[in-house]
Structure 1
Amino acid sequence: MRAAPLALILFAAPALAQDRPPAMQPTRDVAVTYRTNGGETVSMAWQANANRMRMDMPAQSAAMIVDMGARTAIMVMEPQRMAMRMAFDPSNLPFNPAAPDPSMRFVRDGTATVAGLTCTNWRMEGGPHGTGNGCITADGVMLRGSGQSGGNAGSIEATEVRYGAQDPARFQVPAGYQTMDMGNLGAGAMPPGLAGRGPRGK
């Protein structure tokens, strides 16, 4: 699997510069439906207090569950009724939520309305892994994002945002699924649907 330029959307970190978004990850429970530049639908949900994220990729019949605090990630493959558990090492990601690169900075670029919500446009630049743009709400929801990294480019835009408590069961492996322990989840193990090359990474 190729490194995804849209890793900044999933695991974006605050910059060390003075001018920066007030939050780069949701501060309250929310579910967001996105459309990628390749026409694929991707849904993401956050359990803010538990620091967990779930990404559903219908085109791949799979979901990724990330526990930021425990530093684990689980790829759930529904047709096979299998789950692959991996160590989640944020230091391997292009945009590191645990230790942001000191050279990365944010530049404010006005505001916009996406999916009925107001967000602030930010340019993310100066880091060694690529550049990006994001429109982020005051409570940390990315409504529109684009990025370039390693010769790949991609973008997503929210089509629906639903605030409200998330079911904890959705952030666990379903009962009866076979679970395998794998290696580390890093920049080379991002889901193919977010490789910025259209559905199924093509």
Structure 2
Amino acid sequence: MIQTSLIAAIIATGANAVGWGAEPLTPQADFRMITQIQDQSSGMTMEAELRHSNGRFRMETQFQGQDAVVLIDPASTTVTILMSMSGMRLAMDVAADDSGFDIPVADDRLGEPVGTDIVAGEPCTLYRFETEDASGGEALGCLTDDYIVLRVSVPDEGAVFEAREFERAEQEDRWFVVPQGYQRMSMGAMGAFPR
């Protein structure tokens, strides 16, 4: 039996990361970063490796002792989660609209800049923006000139997403596709099922 509650918990870990709006500006460079993500609802903190290339994201983390990889491609209608369970290597597709998973990206409705900072050795511009997802209705994001979000923080709560290590480097396509040997699954309303 697939542990759908575990999979849902991994997806939900990113659900409360503050998003930047409906019209994202994708990063203009390949990069790899180590991030710390704080789930506002549970208070749980996790570390993740985040890679980006051509609008595609890969997030690799560990949840309750198990490695998990999340592949996000804006051109796809699904988010794919890679996990090993009971000796099986699974690639589970979840409808993007239903996944609740959100990688912070910039929005073309950013307000006026309110300052500058350096995060993980990278200069960035601070923007204040309104969001219903944050207590108090606003958050502060630190954004590079080429649209890479390095930190999102909420007043009185601190950073909910922050780069700890960062490097601009070409990312190979293999990081953003399902490797051979994985059994493809779809997550339906009743749980996971082979397709």
Q: Could you say which structure has the higher strand fraction?
A: 2
Q: Deviations over 1:65-118 (max 9, x none)?
A: 01101232101113541111122238x778998xx7x9x753422000111111
**2:182 equivalent in structure 1:** 177
Q: Deviations over 1:166-186 (max 9, x none)?
A: 1111111121111101249xx
Contact 1:119 1:136 (C-alpha < 8 Å) held by counterparts: yes
Q: Which runs of 4+ in 1 moved over 6 A?
A: 92-97
In 2, Cα distance between the equivalents of 1:173 and 1:116? Answer: 32
Contact 1:94 1:129 (C-alpha < 8 Å) held by counterparts: no
1:106 aligns to what SS in structure 2? Answer: coil
- Summarize the Cα distance change of 1:147–1:69 in structure 2 as closer, same or farther, 3 Å threshold: farther
TM-score (norm 2): 0.68
2:175 aligns to what SS in structure 1? Answer: helix
Contact 2:37 2:48 (C-alpha < 8 Å) held by counterparts: yes
For residue 114 of structure 1, the aligned residue among 116, 119, 140 is 119
For residue 5 of structure 1, the aligned residue among 9, 13, 16 is 16
2:127 aligns to what SS in structure 1? Answer: strand
User: Alpha-carbon deviation of 1:54?
Assistant: 0.6
**1:55 equivalent in structure 2:** 59
Contact 1:32 1:45 (C-alpha < 8 Å) held by counterparts: yes
In 1, Cα distance between the equivalents of 2:188 and 2:158? Answer: 26
Which amino acid in structure 1 is aligned with residue 77 of structure 2? Answer: R
Instruction: Answer yes or no: is 1:81 the counterpart of 2:104.
Output: no
What is the CA RMSD across the aligned residues, in angstroms?
A: 3.5
Aligned residues: 164
Which structure has more RCO (C-alpha within 8 Å, separation ≥ 6)?
1
For residue 72 of structure 1, the aligned residue among 48, 73, 78 is 78
In 2, Cα distance between the equivalents of 1:94 and 1:166? Answer: 21
User: Alpha-carbon deviation of 1:128?
Assistant: 3.8
- Summarize the Cα distance change of 1:89–1:123 in structure 2 as closer, same or farther, 3 Å threshold: same
In 2, Cα distance between the equivalents of 1:93 and 1:85? Answer: 12
Q: Tell me the percent identity.
A: 28
In 2, Cα distance between the equivalents of 1:114 and 1:181? Answer: 37
Quick check: which has more Rg, 1 or 2? 2
2:174 aligns to what SS in structure 1? Answer: helix
